Amino acid sequence: MDVGIITVSDRAAAGEYEDHGGPALKKVAQNREWTVLCEIIVPDEVEAIQAAIRSFSKQGCALILTTGGTGIAERDVTPEAIRAIMRVEIPGFGEVMRARSMTITPNAILSRGLAAVVERSLVIALPGKPQGAVDCLGFVEGALAHGVKLAQRVPTSC
């Protein structure tokens, strides 16, 4: 599976903070023998997040993983950025990620992680904490291959 990883963080994008979420997801991808085609760190800005997703989709990333920007702080805008460009949201991903995460931390209820189809890519918005991102990806991994297959299906005309 061809994957893109987007870290959403003002501080990491400015070089003030070392990104740990992106590298954690890259390690998971490599362990699963997925090909990481694209990686980027962007600030918590709707336009930057959308541009990265669209670019990665055009470059052939069937699965795009974002880490960060899914909380409730004022600058957490990843869900809004994705929803503004998605074709369809897949609520089950966010529901499962929150429900399973609640067994680990009560703060999981504050997470706004989601999945959606953008262009021909399955996009999953994961938490910014590296372990939370890895855990949430694991919670939904069973549906990834089929979700990617459906996202990449080209509509047929009548």
Query: Using 50, 70 and 90 to split pLDDT, how confident is the model at 157?
Result: low
* 46: exposed, middle or buried (Cβ count in 10 Å: 0-12, 13-18, 19+): middle
Mean pLDDT estimate for the chain: 96
CB 72 within 8 A of CB 31: no
pLDDT-based confidence at 154, cuts 50/70/90?
low
pLDDT tens digit sequence for 24-62: 999 999 999 999 999 999 999 999 999 999 999 999 999
Per-residue pLDDT reduced to its tens digit, 100-137: 999 999 999 999 999 999 999 999 999 999 999 999 99
The reply to whether the predicted model has a pTM over 0.85 is yes
Q: Write down the residue that tokens 């991994």 correspond to.
A: 141
Q: How confident is the model at residue 156 (pLDDT cuts 50, 70, 90)?
A: low
Strand partners, 116: 89, 123
Question: Does domain 2-152 match CATH 2.30.42.10?
Answer: no
Q: Are 70 and 127 in contact (CB under 8 A)?
A: yes
pLDDT for the residue numbered 153: 86
Return d(Cα 58, Cα 42) in angstroms, integer.
Answer: 18
The DSSP annotation for the chain comes to -EEEEEEE-HHHHTTSS---HHHHHHHHHHHTT-EEEEEEEE-S-HHHHHHHHHHHHHTT-SEEEEES--SSSTT--HHHHHHHH-SEE-HHHHHHHHHHHHTT-GGGGG---EEEEETTEEEEEE-SSHHHHHHHHHHHGGGHHHHHHHHHPPPPP-
In this prediction, residue 145 has a pLDDT band, given cuts at 50, 70 and 90, of very high
Distance CA 55, CA 49 (A): 10
69-108 pLDDT, tens digit per residue, is 999 999 999 999 999 999 999 999 999 999 999 999 999 9
